[in-house]
Amino acid sequence: MAEEVKKEAPANFKVTIDNITVEVAPGTTILNAARQIGGDVTPPAMCYYSKLEGSGGKCRTCLVEVAQGSEKDPRPMPKLMASCRTTVMDGMVVKNITSERVQDARAGVVEFLLLNHPLDCPICDQAGECHLQDLGYDHGKEGTRYEFKRRTFEKEDIGPYIQLHMTRCILCYRCTYVADQLTDKRVHGILDRGDHAEISTYISKAIDNDFSGNMIDVCPVGALTDKTFRFKNRVWFTKPVDAHRDCPTCCGKVTLWNRGDEVLRVTARKDEWGEVQSYDDKARLDLQYLSF
Amino acid sequence: MKALQMEDFATGSMMGSGGFIVLDDTQCVVKHTYTLARFYRHESCGQCSPCREGTGWMEKILLKIDSGKGVMSDIDLLWDIQRKIEGNTICPLGDAAAWPVAAAIRHFRDEFEWHINNPEDCLRKNYGLAGYADEIHVPVLSNE
């Protein structure tokens, strides 16, 4: 019976995003369908990470309007949908940049995300490769209407390679998914709830495992920064060079960031959506030691 | 005799889920809205950004108006914040946080304005029924 249904179902779903039609496999999310088109129609994503299972749906920057649910049921969806968590249906019509409602909601979300962000970009190591900077530039308004004291936290040292600045965190939960899905003996997670929720470790325990560097790379803002690179240089002065290390446990694809002949830091290789393939810290450290 | 039904209460207000709250003239709507906003801010789980940041922001503005430090643009700001939270969150808690603020501004905007125009009086006395010399107008709930 199941096989018959499978035969009847069309191989691909047709979905129209901002008047561009694309054919995608069933089960694809709207965001990934938009990424197949690329360009301006792709909604921004702060918390969704394709390689981390269960990520997405939290930051609400990827909201889109579904003008037609599917071929069979053409009713529009009443609320804006998070495109990273909504799967496409055959004949779905999605509006992203063509919808005023989406632009308005997205500007609101950017304002909410920046509400308690310290905006200390001039002293932040992430500046220049920060997704929140890009998001604010693309979709934000010029000023904030928030006039109260911003939420602040103490800086925290979590492990030999990672510095945590909780004030900069936008609670995307990506690093907790990395801790959950890539590493054993997870000690890292979210404490409390609501607007005083914070990333922390189990009673300030150090994060000491081979894959901890991935947490730095998945962080869209400057909340988790690389201790080996802190205050050494600005990102835009360094030049990325692809490198490879034969590694039995990871893919070994890394990027060296050079200034002149000196290798200043090693990160994972990112694709055009700012996502990395997992690698372990041995690759990072071995290559860094090589350079010194 | 017709039993009271849910539809009988549909006045475009949201002061509880399917229930109603009776306030007499000694109560302050701004203070009451602040209490509700504080509740929702405390209950917000902190996953999605509009609810996490927006509920706290609304609570702070309502406290500011209630303590006589508000300015007139705060009312429009509150309206804009609730509009941007409503419908954009993962779960309905964001909607539920936005609706009481919207309802209070929709029906009792003059009380908010009185708080802002009389920063000293509002700490000593309430707007009260005298402020509502005309019958309170309850508009028919539209889709808007």
CA-nearest residue to B54 within chain A is: A112
Mind listing the pLDDT tens digit for each residue in A212-252? 788 888 899 999 988 888 888 898 999 988 887 777 767 77
- Residue B57: list chain A partners with CB under 8 A: 112, 115, 146, 148
**Is position B15 within any domain?**
no
Compute and round to an integer the Cα radius of gyration of chain A: 21
H helices then E strands: how many in chain A?
A: 7, 13
Strands A20-24 and A63-68, sheet pairing: unpaired
Domain boundary among A79, A105, A131: A105
Q: What is the CATH number of the domain that holds A48?
A: 3.10.20.740
Closest among A61, A216, A59, A242 to A138, alpha carbons compared: A61
ipTM, 2 dp: 0.84
DSSP B48: S
Q: Which residues of A touch B42 (CB under 8 A)?
A: 194
Domain presence at residue A43:
yes
Where is the domain boundary, A105, A123, A155? A105
- In a domain? residue A112: no
Structural domain count of chain B = 1
pLDDT digits (tens, 9 = 90+) for B97-139: 999 999 899 888 989 999 999 998 888 888 876 666 556 566 6
What's phi and psi for B58, nearest 5 deg?
A: -65, -40
Q: What is the pLDDT of residues A33-88, one digit of tens each?
A: 999 998 889 999 999 988 888 888 999 999 999 999 988 889 999 999 999 999 99
- Domain hosting residue B99, numbered range: 29-127
Kindly state whether residue B111 falls inside one of the protein's structural domains.
yes
Chain B hits for A195, Cβ within 8 Å:
41, 44, 46, 52-53, 55-56
| Residue finishing a domain among A58, A90, A105 | A105
Structural element, H or E, at residue A62: none
Whether residue B59 lies inside any domain: the answer is yes
- How many domains are there within chain A? 2
Question: How many whole angstroms separate alpha carbon B63 and alpha carbon A85?
Answer: 36
**What residue numbers bound the domain in which A22 lies?**
11-105
Which bin fits A39, alpha (ψ -120 to 50), beta or left (φ > 0)?
left
Q: Where are the beta strands (DSSP E) in A73-129?
A: 81-82, 92-95
Contact between B55 and A190 using a beta-carbon 8 Å cutoff: no
* Chain A interface disruption, residue of B47, B82, B90, most A CBs within 10 A: B47
Count of H-run helices and E-run strands, chain B: 5, 0
CA A98 to chain centre: 24
Inter-CA distances, A241 with A213, A254, A272, B52, Å: 18, 9, 15, 39
